[in-house]
């Protein structure tokens, strides 16, 4: 049964704005990335999602396809973003089946909780490899197609037909530091730098590169790992966010639509933080004092 539109997309967007476009997404079976892709598919795009788990990825692809009659969503399981060869094969299959790649979401990530003292070099490297190297490999493998899409869809203020855009899913751990997250913070800092560099190098070719930084988003794998169930059950965790609540996957999907649509034509090299103000240093303290 299709997921209700209100769960993943605001009503402000016009149907068909991504008609005949193709989105390629790593980590596409995850809670946040699947919502991002579902929103784009609802608005006319076809999609290719890749992931490690074959059954989970293929099942999610079928589920996302219910967002729009006639949608084509390819699920490629058994992929390893740490391997450029693996990603090149995924990109090749995507283009063979869907014809092009216009938009990319680099969302594959790995994380766990560990203090630095207990964190082995291998464990640190594992997260760097999945998050940062995986993001680089995603960019590297899809770049020729992003450039081709940008050439086909020139980035002009009055052009509603967009293409050649990549969004990296990051985090805010590295803005101020976060206990037990040295590995993830280092990886996400690198991703932010990678995106900014890509924006400079490929902006002249019409390609835009941006970051979406989700904050605490309800019902996600990240909150399962990092959140406190007791604090969430009591509402204390939510109250620490200046807006007084957790976000929804719909709000991340809306940010993605914004950056890929003509609304985001002049947005390049940006970091779009979608977290209710949670990343602001001492935000909960200032809120409490008002």
Residue 240 inside a domain? The answer is: no
Number of domains within the chain? 1
Residue 21 inside a domain? The answer is: yes
pLDDT tens-digit map of 82-104 = 999 999 999 999 999 999 999 99
* pLDDT confidence of residue 131: 99
Q: Is 228 a catalytic residue?
A: no
Q: Is 11 a catalytic residue?
A: no
Q: What domain range is 103 assigned to?
A: 14-224+248-273
* pLDDT confidence of residue 101: 99
Looking at residues 171-198, what average pLDDT do you find? 97
Residue 2 inside a domain? The answer is: no
Instruction: Report the mean per-residue pLDDT for the chain.
Output: 94
Looking at residues 64-81, what average pLDDT do you find? 98
Residue 290 has pLDDT above 70, yes or no: no
Indicate the pLDDT class of residue 197, thresholds 50, 70 and 90.
very high
Residue 56 inside a domain? The answer is: yes
Which of 170, 172, 195, 261 is catalytic? The answer is 170
CATH of the domain at 202: 3.40.50.720
Q: What percent of the chain has pLDDT over 90?
A: 88
Please write down the HEC assignment for all residues of the chain: CCCCHHHCCCCCCCCCCCCCCEEEEECCCCHHHHHHHHHHHHCCCEEEEECCCHHHHHHHHHHHHHHCCCCCEEEECCCCCCCHHHHHHHHHHHHHHHCCCCEEEECCCCCCCCCHHHCCHHHHHHHHHHHHHHHHHHHHHHHHHHHHHHHHCCCCCCCCCCCCEEEEECCCHHHHCCCCCHHHHHHHHHHHHHHHHHHHHHHHHCCEEEEEEECCECCCHHHHHHCCHHHHHHCHHHHCCCCCCCECHHHHHHHHHHHHCHHHCCCCCCEEEECCCCCCCCHHHHHHHC
Between residues 208 and 285, the one the model is more confident about: 208
Residue 107 inside a domain? The answer is: yes
Indicate the pTM of the whole model.
Answer: 0.95
* pLDDT confidence of residue 24: 99
Looking at residues 41-69, what average pLDDT do you find? 98
Residue 100 inside a domain? The answer is: yes
Residue 283 inside a domain? The answer is: no
Indicate the pLDDT class of residue 206, thresholds 50, 70 and 90.
very high
Residue 231 inside a domain? The answer is: no
pLDDT tens-digit map of 233-288 = 666 778 889 999 999 999 999 999 999 999 999 999 999 999 999 999 865 554 55
Which of 188, 195, 250, 261 is catalytic? The answer is 188
């Amino acid at each position: 049964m299709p997921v209700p539109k209100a769960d993943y997309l605001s009503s402000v967007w016009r149907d068909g704005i991504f008609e005949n476009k193709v989105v390629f997404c790593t980590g596409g079976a995850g809670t946040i990335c699947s919502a991002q892709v579902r929103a784009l598919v609802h608005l006319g795009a076809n999609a290719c999602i890749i992931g490690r788990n074959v059954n989970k990825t293929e099942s999610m692809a079928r589920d996302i396809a219910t967002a729009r009659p006639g949608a084509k969503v390819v699920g490629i399981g058994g992929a390893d973003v740490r391997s450029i060869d693996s990603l090149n094969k995924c990109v090749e299959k995507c283009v063979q089946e869907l014809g092009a790649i216009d938009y990319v979401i680099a969302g594959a990530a790995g994380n766990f909780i560990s203090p630095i003292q207990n964190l082995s070099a291998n464990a640190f490297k594992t997260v760097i490899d999945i998050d940062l190297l995986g993001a680089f490999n995603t960019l590297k493998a899809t770049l020729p197609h992003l450039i081709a899409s940008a050439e086909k869809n020139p980035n002009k203020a009055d052009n509603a037909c967009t293409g050649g855009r990549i969004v990296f899913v990051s985090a805010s751990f590295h803005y101020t530091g976060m206990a037990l997250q040295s590995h993830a913070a280092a990886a996400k800092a690198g991703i932010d730098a990678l995106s900014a560099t890509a924006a400079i190098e490929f902006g002249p070719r019409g390609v835009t590169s941006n970051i979406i930084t989700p904050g605490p988003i309800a019902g996600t794998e990240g909150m399962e790992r990092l959140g406190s169930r007791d604090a969430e059950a009591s509402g204390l965790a939510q109250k620490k966010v200046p807006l007084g609540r957790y976000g929804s996957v719909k709000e991340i999907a809306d940010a993605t639509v914004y950056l890929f649509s003509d609304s985001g034509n002049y947005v390049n090299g940006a970091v779009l933080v979608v977290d209710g103000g949670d990343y602001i240093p001492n935000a909960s303290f200032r809120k409490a004092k008002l």
